[in-house]
Amino acid sequence: MPAELSDLFLTYLSVEKGLSRNTVNAYATDLKKYLQFLKKNSRDAQTARKEDIIDFLELLRSGTYAIPTVCRYISSIKAFYKFLLIENRIPEDPTENLQMPRKWERVPKALTIADVKSLLAAKFNAGTALRDSSMLELLYSSGLRVSELVNIKLGDIHAEAGFIRVIGKGSKERIVPVNGRALGRIKRFISEERPVILKKRESLYLFVTRTGRPMTRQRFWQMLKAVGKQAGIELSPHTIRHCFATHLLEGGADLRSVQKMLGHADISTTQIYTKVTTDRIKKVFKTYHPRA
C-alpha cells in the first residue's frame, strides 16, 4: 500500500472530520501498529482480509491490551477502511460486520470522596501550585477528559455564569458547570501565577507552561501521578473523571444529566457507572445489614 494513503487518511480526519490533533495522533499510532503487523505477514491494507484483522486483534488481546484499548484499535481500523472505500482504493470493506468486544470487562476504579479530598489538599510544586491545583480541581469539578482540560482557552471560561465551554471528541462542543471553589482557584491563577509563568508572553490557552505553550497531556499526567504518590493513592489517567461520574450518581444525579456532562454520545457508555454505584451499595449492605 502506498505510504501516502495513510497520510491522506490522517489529513482527512483532521480537515474533513475536524478531529483534534491528539485524536488524529491516536489514530496514527493505532494505524502504524496495524500496518506493521500486515507487513510482517506479507500483506498490506488493500489486500488484507477480515481474517487478518481478526488475527491482529487477537494478538492485541493475548498481550497486555485491555478491552477498551482493543475497541479503540477497531474504531481506528474501521475508520481507515471506510476512507479507503470512499476513495475507491478497495472494492469492499473487510471490517464490515466486525463486532466490538464487550467493553469494560472491569468496572472503572473510583476513589472515595475522602481520597479525592486528600489529592486536592496535596502539596504542589512551588511556582506552579495554583496552576496544578486549579487543573486538578477543575478536572474533578467538571469531569473533563485530560485532552479537553489542557486545551481550554481563556475565552472558554464563563465565571459569572458558572460554566466552561469544552470542545470534546469529534470537535463537539458542550457546556459544563463548574463549582465556585474551582472557579475561585482559576481566577487566582489567572491574576497571580499565570503572568509570572508566561513572562510577558501571550497565549490563548488557560493552562500554560514556562515555554509559553499549553500544558501537554503527558506533563499533566506526570504531575497527577506525583500528587497521587504523595497522597498514597494509585491513579490512572481517567481516575478523576470516573470519580466525578460515580460521586454524582451516588449523590442522586440522573444518568442523562451525567451523560451530557461527560460528553458521551451513547448513554450505554455512561451506564457503566451505575454498576459502580450498585456494587458499592451491595458492599454497604453486606457490611452493615444484620441479615446480610
pLDDT digits (tens, 9 = 90+) for 65-102: 777 788 889 999 999 999 999 989 999 999 987 777 65
Statement: the pTM of the whole predicted model exceeds 0.85: no
For the chain, give the mean pLDDT. Answer: 86
pLDDT of residue 78: 92
**Could you tell me if 153 and 268 lie in one domain?**
yes
Same domain, 128 and 268: yes
Residue 40 located in a structural domain:
yes
**pLDDT, position 144:** 93
- Residue 244 and residue 162 share a domain: yes
How many domains does the structure of the chain reveal?
Answer: 2
The pLDDT, as a whole number, for residue 269 is: 77
Q: Grid coordinates representing 11?
A: 489529513
State residue 186's pLDDT score: 95
28-37, 154-163, 261-270, 282-291 — which is least confidently predicted? Answer: 282-291
Identity (one letter) of the amino acid at 206? L
Q: What is the pLDDT of residue 190?
A: 96
- For every residue of 173-202, DSSP letters joined together read EEEEE--HHHHHHHHHIIIIIHHHHHTT--
Predicted confidence (pLDDT) at residue 1 exceeds the cutoff of 50: no
Catalytically active residues are 145, 169, 238, 241, 264, 273
Whether 143 and 191 map to the same domain: the answer is yes
Rounded to whole angstroms, the Cα distance separating 204 from 157 reads 12
The answer to whether residues 245 and 254 touch, using CB atoms and an 8 Å cutoff, is no
All three cell numbers of 90: 478497495
* Residue 201 identity: R
User: Distance between CA atoms of 29 and 14, rounded to whole angstroms?
Assistant: 15
pLDDT at 155: 94
- 81 and 118 both lie in a single domain: no
**What CATH number is attached to the domain comprising 62?**
1.10.150.130
Question: Which own/partner contact pairs does 255-263 have at CB distance under 8 Å and 24+ positions apart?
Answer: 260/174, 261/142, 261/143, 261/174, 261/176, 261/177, 262/143, 263/145, 263/148, 263/166, 263/168, 263/169, 263/172, 263/174
* Residue 2 pLDDT exceeds 70: no
* pLDDT value at residue 107: 56
Assess whether 162 and 254 both reside in one domain. yes
The CATH number for 200's domain is 1.10.443.10
- Are 179 and 263 in a shared domain? yes
Q: What is the pLDDT of residues 250-268, one digit of tens each?
A: 888 888 998 989 988 888 7
Q: Give 237's pLDDT tier (boundaries 50, 70, 90).
A: low
- pLDDT-derived band at 57 (thresholds 50, 70, 90) equals confident
In a domain? residue 7: yes
Share of the chain above pLDDT 70, in %: 93
* 191 and 272, same domain (yes or no): yes
Same domain for 222 and 159:
yes
Phi first, then psi: what are they for 70, rounded to 5°? -60, -40
The last residue of one of the domains, among 26, 51, 86, is 86
User: Which structural domain range is residue 179 located in?
Assistant: 113-286
The answer on 120 and 32 residing in a single domain is: no
Q: Mean pLDDT lowest for which of 104-108, 142-146, 212-216? A: 104-108
